[in-house]
Amino acid sequence: DILVKYADRIDDDLLRNIILDPDPNNRAAAVATLEQADALMDQGKSIDEVMSILQSTPRRKQAEGGLAGILKL
């Protein structure tokens, strides 16, 4: 799915790194960033504006409640 959707849009090495990453959270974050960049470009933002927005967007911290909070992880 990732390969088909982004094969013609991003560098082959980057795409390979995303696909082969053993951590599904890293893959999900990378795909989310790619989708956010697509959405911004669809709004008419330039590449420089997209990069500035993505770099200034803070990433959310992982949840601390639920099972992680109970087990004090």
pLDDT in tens, the chain (73 residues): 788 888 888 888 999 999 999 998 889 888 989 999 999 999 999 999 999 998 887 776 655 556 656 665 5
| Percent helix / strand / coil, the chain, rounded to 5 | 65, 0, 35
> Of 2, 37, 35, which is closest to residue 17 (Cα–Cα)?
2
This prediction has a pTM of: 0.69
